[in-house]
Amino acid sequence: MDVRRSGLGVLVVSQLLAGLGVASGVAVGGLLAEQLSGTVVVAGLAQTSSVLGAGLWAIPLARLAGRRGRRWGLGCGYALAVLGTLLVLGSAALGSVVLLFVGLAAFGASTAAGLQARFAAAELTTAAYRARALSVVLWATTLGSVLGPNLSEVGARLGERLGIEPLTGPYLFSLVAFTAAALTVSLGLRPASPDAAGEGPVDPAAVDVGAAVPVVQLGFRVALRLGLADPLTRLAVVAITCSHTVMVGVMVMTPLHMGHLGFSLDLVGLVISIHIFGMYGASPVMGWLTDRISAVGVLLVGVVLFAAALVLAAMADEPSMLLISLALGLLGLGWSAGMIGGSTLLASSVTPEAKVSVQGATDAVMNVAAAASSAVSGLVLGWAGYPGLAVVAAVVLVPMAVLAVRTALRPPRPGTPEPAAQRSSTRA
């Protein structure tokens, strides 16, 4: 257990650093894109490029983790983010918006690695504490995510002092943070050996998989088909995808909506901070709840939280700080419930030899769907306003709600008090 706690500590530190790196860059990515391109339309694609990059990198990083262990998957993800950050810095020096988008796509590998870390955490403990371990790693992102945007002004001044484009200054913090995260997992995690207990951090993949259970390298379609074939795994895949898509679609347009209503940047920042705290700050509570009442129960809680958030958002067409703050706070809590409940269910409902591939396919689908949501949400906002955006998000939520209710009402098979655990050990 000491070995596993040490490994969890390594993951927590790397998540804190990665969260700082992501938030530092994302905070100014759109502004840099607008400056290089001269148009607001292209600026809106900056976030989409990063999210899409996270989806595209999820599969190869998962395959690498399956072949070589989580240490390699996580370390290479953060190393790619370092490369992406360097490309972003180069794009400003060369005045190339194309190079910027390529850099932001590589930058998105940090998100793919950060999401993979939650599954690594789930592999470090027993089923009874799996959700709590997973939630602690997600929680570690909170500090970096909240601190990162507040370094924008400091980074801009640093960039000015170094004689580079001020808007690229915050990316210097991202560069340092991603480098530190890559070194942390590369040096801190190592493959387990029979006599390794108590000697230090270990590679999470080696703890759970082991030599007796070979990891199967599945293609994207095969892994996704496997995930959707089983009712429990299908619920996990749909819940993770719907939760992330709903959250991103509403969240990315909230600052623009608040700007149209005349709110100051300080108030916009406050609302986003409330939202981020809902996403990550409450994750240990969601993890504890998942271990106590089941993953399916927490997914139902997530549906209720999302529904409440979207109802409030639909009512927030007037300048009401209270309504928007409540809507975004509940939106973050709904994401936390959906992500932790869905990820825990996914970690326990797939066979050990295939789970890395299925997890990678799920994260790829989740991020691509979120990228599409980010791109389309602006059109929906312009066409139907913020209430219309809430209605469209509610439609996206329906599959998750239907599957969660159906699974909760389905009677358990005789003699299978823990269906998820039993299925994971008996499925061929």
Mean pLDDT (the chain) is 81
What is the domain range of residue 155?
1-215
Does the CA dihedral 293-299-304-309 come out positive or negative?
A: positive
424: its two tokens = 């994971």
Same domain, 179 and 307: no
**Alpha-carbon distance 407 to 280, whole Å?**
26
Q: Answer for the pair 268, 258: CB distance below 8 angstroms, yes or no.
A: yes
CB within 8 Å of 41: residues ≥ 6 apart = none
**In this predicted structure, which of 187-191, 241-245, 399-403, 424-428 has the lowest mean pLDDT?**
424-428
**Domain count across the chain:** 2
Domain boundary among 181, 215, 249: 215
Same domain, 88 and 225: no
Buried b (16+ CB within 10 A) or exposed e, 376-388: ebbebbeeeebee
Q: Examine the domain organization and report whether 169 and 237 are in the same domain.
A: no
**Higher-confidence residue: 372 or 306?**
306
Instruction: State the residue for tokens 């981020």.
Output: 276
User: Quick one: 211 and 346 in the same domain?
Assistant: no
Q: Report the pLDDT value the prediction gives residue 71, as an integer from 0 to 100.
A: 87
Supply the pLDDT for residue 217. Answer: 61
Task: Retrieve residue 6's tokens.
Answer: 């040490």
| One domain for residues 274 and 341 | yes
In this prediction, residues 128-136 reach a mean pLDDT of: 80
Rounded to the nearest 5 percent, the helix, strand and coil shares of the chain are 85, 0, 15
Domain boundary among 215, 236, 258: 215
- The CATH number given to whatever domain includes residue 337 is 1.20.1250.20
How many Cα atoms occupy the beta-carbon half-sphere of 310 within 13 Å? 25
CB neighbourhood size of 163 (10 A): 6
Encode pLDDT of 72-102 as tens digits: 889 999 999 999 999 999 998 998 989 999 9
For residue range 177-204, what is the model confidence (pLDDT) as tens digits? 999 999 999 898 765 544 444 444 544 4
Tell me what percent of the residues of the chain surpass a pLDDT of 70.
82
- Whether residue 365 contacts residue 239, with contact meaning beta carbons closer than 8 Å, is answered with no
Question: Helix, strand, or coil here: 378?
Answer: helix
74 and 177 in a common domain: yes
Question: Is the pLDDT at 12 greater than 60, yes or no?
Answer: yes
* Token pair 């309504």: residue: 323
Mean pLDDT of all residues in 207-233? 62
| Same domain as 229, residue 199 | no
Long-range CB pairs of 288-295 (<8 Å, 24+ gap) are 288/131, 288/132, 288/135, 289/131, 290/131, 290/132, 290/135, 290/340, 290/341, 290/344, 291/128, 291/129, 291/130, 291/131, 291/132, 295/131, 295/236, 295/341, 295/342, 295/344, 295/345, 295/348, 295/420
284 lies in the same domain as 335: yes
Do 176 and 191 share a domain, yes or no? yes
Is 81 in the same domain as 194?
yes
Shared domain check, 200 and 261: no
Give pTM, 2 decimals: 0.75
What confidence tier does 218 reach under pLDDT thresholds 50, 70, 90?
low
Domain edge (last residue) among 215, 232, 247: 215
Dihedral of alpha carbons 319, 320, 321, 324, sign: negative
Same domain for 194 and 251, yes or no, is no
